[in-house]
Structure 1
Amino acid sequence: MAKARNKPKPKPSAAMYPKQIFIEQSKQIFGCNPEVVVGALHGQSQAQYTKQEVEQYIENFKNGVVK
């Protein structure tokens, strides 16, 4: 009999949440005001994000150059 081969399980992808959740819970999740999250996500067309994506957008927003 042939041995059954176990295929590697795909890694679970990060949880996606609507941006409104991140805005409403910004103090608890990121320690910043909701306005910061709104500014960081301004111009983004996605409806849902991972926490890591939003953290990166916030960092880019905070470190951005004001023109």
Structure 2
Amino acid sequence: MKKSTTQTSGKPDNAAEATLYSKDELITHSQALFASQPEVLIGALHGCEENELTIEAANQRIQNFLQRKVLA
């Protein structure tokens, strides 16, 4: 029996790159994607220079934004 000489990269074959979405698209669908009001995502994206984000990156920004301390 002959052994295969093909090496795998360790990643599953069906692993796809994360899809990027525009800020406007994420804001429009923020209620369905993140269970957050659009205003929350707008605040979380304040100062973000990237025009396109993955859903995971946007969700992480929302979580960081919601956990910030409010200065009085």
Note whether the superposition's TM-score is higher than 0.5.
yes
Q: Percentage identity across aligned positions?
A: 32
Aligned equivalent of 2:54: 50
Unaligned stretches of 5+ residues in structure 1: none
Q: Which of the two has higher C-alpha Rg?
A: 2
Aligned length: 65
- Provide TM-score, normalisation by structure 1: 0.83
Q: CA shift at 1:4, angstroms? A: 6.8
Query: Which has the higher mean CA deviation after the structures are superposed, 50-59 or 9-18?
Result: 9-18
Unaligned stretches of 5+ residues in structure 2: none
Aligned partner of residue 60 in structure 1, secondary structure: helix
Structure 2: distance between partners of 1:66 and 1:28 = 26
Structure 1 runs (4+) deviating above 2 angstroms are 3-12
- Provide TM-score, normalisation by structure 2: 0.77
The root-mean-square deviation of aligned C-alpha atoms, in Å, is 1.8
